[in-house]
Structure 1
Amino acid sequence: MGRIIKMPVELPAMEIGAMVGDWWEEINESTQWQDGIFYALCGAYALVSAVALIQLIRIELRVPEYGWTTQKVFHLMNFIVNGVRAIVFGFHKQVFTMNPQALVLVLLDLPGLLFFSTYTLLVLFWAEIYHQARSLPTDKLRVVYISVNVAMYFVQVCIWVYLWVDDNSIVELIGKIFIAVVSILAALGFLVYGGRLFFMLRRFPIESKGRRKKLHEVGSVTAICFTCFLIRCFVVNLYTT
């Protein structure tokens, strides 16, 4: 019997690209696919929001005497950010048909700004730990955090108000570039202070399992948050081009 040799089927790169493009166009034009994705995102954000709320309640029940610590505020803001995202994705049909268009941009951009405030609060917390360990002043850190956030919201509100009055595509583009700049600043914040804290902790002898876990947490969160904000910056830039 003759031996049957199976020849590999090779598709040209252009054909593969065309197939992927057709698949993406099919998803992009399918309301069923879009609804499914949006509802899945709604469920995911709602789950994260619920976890943040549970964590906040647990901490409050465990140590109620400390008041509103940075950790409690962080979980509260996480609850709000992800809750708003869940609502936006859950009611996306109503959101995308709102008038004026500036209101849609507010609902879409506001959670991103709150996300920035939430996770730069974590950067502030790490910066305070690093400065205290190095016997450096920490007074100005909170001032910088508040100033950056106030300036960010002020600029973004001005953009929203202008778009409310005059739906200008150039101003809308400026708003997207502004979001990209905010994202890259957050990424740099995590890289600088997360990296500093990580390498500082590595210098100490890691004797206990708890210290190893804390070192792993700082490194993981730094890498994940830096990557997330960097990807957000690239996605916004890609969307503007």
Structure 2
Amino acid sequence: MSVLVLLGFCVLEMVVVDKRIAMWLVLAWKNVPIAVILSKMFFAGVSLFAALGFLLYGGRLFLMLRRFPVESKGRRKKLQEVGYVTTICFFCFLVRCIMICFNAFDKAADLDVLDHPVLNFIYYLLVEILPSTLVLFILRKLPPKRGITQYHPIR
């Protein structure tokens, strides 16, 4: 089952990347306003599906962890980690989706602020750097290494 899910994810990722490259080539060849809007809406849709994916699978993992016995070691900490990471990733992709939708239809809401490096830094700080930093901070502790408990000779 998990191999099929992984294969499906890889195929879906290849389709999305192929469509995105095709849109870039069309826009490089001829800058048609409707193609620009369709390209931005496609990317907004990808961001929305990523947000919903984090919400769906993070929520399922959260609910699965809640069914573990209360005495389970580290249950509360894992619940918090999964909840925080799911929430951060969901809101990050949702905000990106909303911003790209505004950008597609409102010329004043241009996300390509290369002329204003401070605005560019603030935008990427809020939607890329800060969420990535928070996720890495939350998941900073690695599990302890397991050593060989005892050597048992083969008889």
What residue is the counterpart of 2:27 in the other structure? 163
Cα RMSD after superposing both structures: 1.2
More helix by proportion, 1 or 2? Answer: 1
Aligned with 1:204: secondary structure?
coil
Aligned length: 105
What corresponds to 1:187 in structure 2? 51
TM-score, length-normalised on structure 2?
A: 0.64
Aligned residue in 2 for 1:238: 102
Q: Contact 2:68/2:75 (CA < 8 Å) preserved in 1?
A: no
Normalising by structure 1, we get a TM-score of: 0.42
Inter-partner Cα distance in structure 2 for 1:238 and 1:155: 21
Regions of 4+ moved over 3 Å: none
Mapping for residues 32-71 of structure 1, pairs under 5 Å: none
Q: CA deviation digits over 1:38-79, x for unaligned, max 9?
A: xxxxxxxxxxxxxxxxxxxxxxxxxxxxxxxxxxxxxxxxxx
Shifted more, 200-209 versus 170-179: the winner is: 200-209
Q: Distance in 1 between matches of 2:84 and 2:34?
A: 38
| Structure 2: runs of 5+ lacking an equivalent | 106-155
Q: Does 1:221 align with 2:78?
A: no
Once the two structures are superposed, the pairs formed by residues 200-215 of structure 1 within 5 Å of their partners are 200-208=64-72, 210-215=74-79
Give the drift of 1:189.
Answer: 0.6
What is the 5 A alignment of 1:51-200? 137-200=1-64
Of structures 1 and 2, the one scoring higher in RCO (CA 8 A, sep 6+) is: 2
Counterpart of 1:105 in structure 2 is none
Deviations 1:187-223 (A, max 9, x none): 1111111101100100101335522211111111111
What residue in structure 2 maps to residue 89 of structure 1? none
| Identity across the alignment (%) | 46
Unmatched 5+ stretches in structure 1:
1-136
- Distance in 1, matches of 2:87 and 2:40, equals 24
Larger radius of gyration: 1
